Amino acid sequence: MAGLLLKKYDGKVPNTLEELINLPGVGRKTANIVLATVFNKDVIGVDVHVHRISNRFGIVKTKKPEETEKQLMKIIEKKYWKKLNIAMVSYGQTLCFPRNPECNKCPVKKYCMQIGL
């Protein structure tokens, strides 16, 4: 990838989703994380945590992460988009596990529909 960046982009990381996802090994989530953190763009990086937790809470009802991204962009205020991934990843790694989530310790349990549990 380094060679490709040097050759095609003059050594600079591209700043569009389309260009980033065309790089080898870069998917939509990684591209969006780069856009948010490196280029300060308002995007939502949807990984397994964001997808699972959004569906578990009943915020969205989607089958694929890309669908989750589109739905979240419709309902979450833009000012929160960049921080949504890191917040949900942290939450998913500490409380809202895929199996055996620690609902009894969850500070936002009353807002969760617990879909899939």
* Residues forming the active site: 29, 47
pLDDT single digits (tens) 43-64: 999 999 999 999 999 999 999 9
What's this model's pTM, rounded to 2 decimal places? Answer: 0.87
Residues 6+ apart with CB under 8 A from 48: 65, 92, 98
The domain that holds 87 is classified in CATH as: 1.10.1670.10
33 and 89 fall within a common domain: no
pLDDT single digits (tens) 59-77: 999 999 999 999 999 999 9
Please count the structural domains in the chain.
2
7 and 49 fall within a common domain: no
108 and 55 fall within a common domain: yes
User: What range does the domain containing 37 cover?
Assistant: 1-41
90 and 59 fall within a common domain: yes
The counts of H helices and E strands in the chain are: 6, 0
